[in-house]
Amino acid sequence: MGMEFSELTQGRIDALTFILSLFSVFFTIVSAYIAALYFFLGIAPLPLRLLAFFVLSVSFLFLGAMSFTVSDIVEVLVMNWENANIPLTSQQAVRSWMAQVGSNFDFYYVGALLGWAVAFIVYLALAYLTFGYRWKQPETVSTTRTLSG
């Protein structure tokens, strides 16, 4: 028993919303980590850098697990979408083009592979910036106050 067109459409919208939410959380975590590296983590003692990188690794693992979950949902949507045999109208230019290219979400899979590759590269870059890059010590600003009186 297949899904109706409205259920399939809502499922695709929900999956897209979930994927965009994952990207948003990924971007937030990476941005916060980069800011932490710049402001204090780059010159922090090793135990603090290890703890911060451990927390970053756990958050990446969590996001990876969530992306596997949405991939399972998309697989079900793809299977049902192909079996739904939904007719195309002339006003659906994008959907018509997608049907010619392949309606089996090939673009989703390419995007997912690119997403995993980017996440892996970012993870390696953050590892290098945490443990390999030699951060310059910030210059201390000497402030002296004089009391006039």
- Domain limits of the chain? 5-132
Supply the pTM of this predicted model. 0.76
**Which two tokens mark 8?**
């399939």
Alpha-helix residue ranges (DSSP H) falling in 40-129: 46-84, 93-101, 106-127
Question: What pLDDT does 70 receive?
Answer: 86
For 63-94, write each residue's pLDDT tens digit: 999 998 888 887 787 777 767 766 666 556 66
147 pLDDT tier (thresholds 50, 70, 90): low
Whether 88 contacts 95, CB under 8 Å? yes
37 pLDDT tier (thresholds 50, 70, 90): very high
Contacts with 15 (C-beta within 8 Å, 6 or more apart), sequence order: 70, 73, 74, 77
Quote the CA–CA distance of 12 and 97 in Å, as a whole number. 17
**Whether the predicted pLDDT of 149 surpasses 60:** no
Whether 119 contacts 60, CB under 8 Å? yes
